[in-house]
């Protein structure tokens, strides 16, 4: 048995809200509801499962906050996670004509997010920290959200305009990171920078380097980052190698269907994480199957283990994950 395998359970807002009996519509409409869900949801799961107690809150306008400055809007549902209402940019010419907003704090959902932040700063318990963050979405993923699948043709048909589009998105992301640091009083040059990049893996290796990695590197260089991390969902083995070769220090492939623990062991010399799949390997299997999956991943060379809860996971299945995880601590 391998020992010393760190593990964690990620809990998204919709699960905290489920445990707190708060609808997602209320959660996204009211800063008091957001703060209650984030703090009390963590306390409930701490008391129930022994998970770490979270004493931190932040405005939650989803990852769409970043692209909202270019017109992306999301719809809030009664009891489901928000979803974009569509792709606001119809053509690459329109995309290439965009400019970075002059006043980032007044663009998109930022006024509402900043108002939520001020409420939380005023009303959060003394022992709770209040955060604010934006700019962590990789430029290519932001471009896909804004332009839709047309952007994949644009890189072939009009690469010059696609680059112009990505340059504007990148500059906006830099300014959002700087604004977030200004709001919280943190140093944006902390030495580490992270990206969420769920769509980069849909590019072939050459396009991945030219239209995705290139712009993440630009942000890293701007902030003098000595450590670069990525969370992604659709990478394949060639993408892993490219990231490592360009100085990445950690890769979380999430629940990527194309990459296994063995792939990471064979390709990477840097730390990595392959998550257990929320539905396929936690919600649907039996507790015995959950434990077997965990053991197999560790045997394959997993360096750390994580699963993200989804709504409706029975208690016995959460406990099966935690119990087997503790065997390998």
For the chain, list residues with pLDDT below 70. 1-2
Nearest to 251 by CA among 215, 216, 290: 216
* pTM confidence score: 0.95
The whole-angstrom separation of Cα 233 and Cα 256 is 4
**CA 242 to chain CA mean position, Å:** 20
Please check whether residue 152 is in contact with residue 212, taking contact to mean a CB–CB distance below 8 angstroms.
no
Q: Which two tokens stand for residue 43?
A: 């306390």
Q: What pLDDT, on a 0 to 100 scale, did the predictor assign at position 228? A: 98
Instruction: Report strand pairing: 83-84 vs 74-75.
Output: antiparallel
Tens of pLDDT, residues 137-191:
999 999 999 999 999 999 999 999 999 999 999 999 999 999 999 999 999 898 9
Q: What pLDDT, on a 0 to 100 scale, did the predictor assign at position 2? A: 66
Q: What pLDDT, on a 0 to 100 scale, did the predictor assign at position 188? A: 87
Please give the C-alpha separations between residue 218 and each of 215, 223, 251, in angstroms, as whole numbers.
Answer: 5, 9, 18
Instruction: Report strand pairing: 74-75 vs 272-273.
Output: unpaired
Could you say which DSSP state residue 281 is in?
I
The dihedrals phi and psi of 286, each to the nearest 5 degrees, come to: -80, 165
Please check whether residue 65 is in contact with residue 116, taking contact to mean a CB–CB distance below 8 angstroms.
no
């Amino acid at each position: 048995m391998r020992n010393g395998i760190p593990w964690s359970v990620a809990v998204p807002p919709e699960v905290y809200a489920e445990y707190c009996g708060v609808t997602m519509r209320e959660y996204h409409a009211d800063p008091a509801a957001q703060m209650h869900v984030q703090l009390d949801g963590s306390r409930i799961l701490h008391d129930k499962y022994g998970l770490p107690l979270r004493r931190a809150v932040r405005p939650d306008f989803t990852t769409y906050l970043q692209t909202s400055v270019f017109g992306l809007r999301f719809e809030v549902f009664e009891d489901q996670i928000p979803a974009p209402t569509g792709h606001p940019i119809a053509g690459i010419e329109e995309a290439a004509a965009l400019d970075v907003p002059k006043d980032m704090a007044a663009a998109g959902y930022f006024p509402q997010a900043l108002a939520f932040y001020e409420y939380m700063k005023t009303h959060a318990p003394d022992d709770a920290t209040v955060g604010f963050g934006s700019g962590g979405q990789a430029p290519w993923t932001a471009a896909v959200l804004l332009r839709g699948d047309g952007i994949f043709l644009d890189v072939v048909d009009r690469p010059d305009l696609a680059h112009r589009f990505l340059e504007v998105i990148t500059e906006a992301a830099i300014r959002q990171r700087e604004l977030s640091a200004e709001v919280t009083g943190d140093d944006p040059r902390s030495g580490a920078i992270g990206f969420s990049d769920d769509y980069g893996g849909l590019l072939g290796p050459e396009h991945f380097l030219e239209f995705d990695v290139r712009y993440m590197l630009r942000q890293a260089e701007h902030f003098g980052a000595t450590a670069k991390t990525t969370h992604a969902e659709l990478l394949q083995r060639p993408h892993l190698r490219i990231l490592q070769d360009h100085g990445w220090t950690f890769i979380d492939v999430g629940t990527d269907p194309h990459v296994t623990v063995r792939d990471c062991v064979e390709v990477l010399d840097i730390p990595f994480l392959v998550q257990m799949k929320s539905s396929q390997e936690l919600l649907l299997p039996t507790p015995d199957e959950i434990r077997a999956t965990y053991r197999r991943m560790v045997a394959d060379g997993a360096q750390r283990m994580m699963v993200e809860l989804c709504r409706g996971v029975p208690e016995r299945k959460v406990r099966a994950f935690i119990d087997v995880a503790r065997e390998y601590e």
